[in-house]
Amino acid sequence: MRTLADFPTLTVVDHPLVQHKLTLMRDKNRSTTNFRQLLNEIGMLLAYEVTRDLPLELVEVETPLEKTKKPMIAGKKLVFAPILRAGVGFLDGMLSLVPSARVAHIGLYRDPETLTAIEYYFKAPSDVAERLVLVLDPMLATANSAIAAVDKLKGRGVTELRFVCLLAAPEGIEKFTKAHPDVHIWTAAIDSHLNDHGYIVPGLGDAGDRMYGTK
């Protein structure tokens, strides 16, 4: 069985609130509304963890008592890049924490026969290469979509990338880290394995279908 030691570029966010909300989401009887709300809340908590090492710079601010220099985030605003459609579920929660962030959209769908990722849409800030980009997708299963998204962003000149997901399968982690060993992964949990249809087990089902009520 693989352990965290086998994946040095991966961080599991084991905060009790994250784990509690994730367990609620796994329940097959959870309503679409509640599932979407929980994904939104976990997105905010994951964003807090992923951004804890952002660089700071001292800026001058005047309080009611005096002028002083205090820290603020340095450099250009970061970019959230959700993989459509399920990745959008993270967006509102993360933007509530970092409202000044830019947003890129990466449209990919998984071919049901081959499980390969097929691109149908891409839109990003013109200066995306100069920014830190957080790629968002609730599930790191086969990793085909995640790899394709990072390939696309690297092709646009992006050098600072992080991948954020809710659940990951060992097969997906291994494949992603082989393709992009320089991109760190943040996840709330590593589940057991993939089934024959490329779904994470025990998982939580199809995140997009459960979020939008389309199954």
Concerning whether 187 is annotated as a catalytic residue, the answer is: no
Concerning whether 33 is annotated as a catalytic residue, the answer is: no
Concerning whether 206 is annotated as a catalytic residue, the answer is: yes
Task: Write out the DSSP string of 127-179.
Answer: TGGGS-EEEE-SEESS-HHHHHHHHHHHHTT---EEEE-SEE-HHHHHHHHHH
Which spans in the chain are helix H? 16-26, 32-50, 91-97, 144-155, 170-179, 207-212
Catalytic residue among 26, 209, 210, 214: 209
Catalytic residue among 26, 30, 85, 110: 110
Query: For residue 66, with 0-12 CB atoms within 10 Å meaning exposed, 13-18 middle and 19 or more buried, which class applies?
Result: exposed
Catalytic residue among 3, 63, 114, 196: 114
Three-class SS of residue 6?
Answer: helix
Residue from 58, 120, 133 nearest 85 by CA: 120
Catalytic residue among 177, 206, 210, 214: 206
- Cβ contacts of 16 within 8 Å, gap of 6 or more: none
Concerning whether 110 is annotated as a catalytic residue, the answer is: yes
User: Among all residues, which ones are annotated catalytic?
Assistant: 110, 114, 206, 209
